[in-house]
Amino acid sequence: MFRRCVCIAPAVMLVGLSSAHAADSTLTLACQGTVVSTTIEDAKPESVTMGIIFNFTKGALQGFGTLINYPVKITGWTDVIVTFYGSDKGLVSQVIEESIRGTLDRMTGDMEATLASFSLKTNKPLSSISYALKCRPTQRTF
């Protein structure tokens, strides 16, 4: 009986390690906070709730709803901070460039991001949307 336990224990440890490694490759967050748009005069912060997934294997981020239809890349990460950036120069016949840039503090759950657009003809900013979010790790429900 003792020999059977000795053989099973290493197998169980290996299964545990592989699932822990898989869990570390993605970070699924539920985020709540505020969003402010500079395109609206006297804009006031509005409440926002969203889900965001960081996929460290692919180096990519999913989230921010339908506002972003271009890839957002994870540009760097440590145990404390994750930075991300994405842009698209193909908007409106290459007249407008849109980009998003932000950071996630993995210790506090604070995320800041700015979605900005500017004219490629005049090289001047057109608008920006600023996010201030508090995020917490979550599991997918299905």
What was the pLDDT predicted at 54? 94
* Model pTM score: 0.76
Condensed to tens digits (0 to 9), the pLDDT of residues 8-59 reads: 333 333 333 333 334 468 999 999 999 998 876 777 899 999 999 999 999 9
What was the pLDDT predicted at 22? 43
Cα distance from N-terminal residue to C-terminal residue, the chain: 39
Distance CA 77, CA 72 (A): 14
What was the pLDDT predicted at 90? 65
HEC readout, 56-114: CCCCEEECCHHHCCCCEEEEEECCCEEEEEEEEEEECCCCEEEEEEEEEECCCCEEEEE
b/e burial code for range 116-132 (CB count within 10 A of at least 16 → b): bbbeeeeeeeeeebbbe
Amino acid identity, position 72: V
55-69 average pLDDT score: 87
Condensed to tens digits (0 to 9), the pLDDT of residues 74-125 reads: 999 999 999 999 998 765 556 888 999 999 999 999 999 999 988 888 888 8
Structure tokens at 27: 């970070």
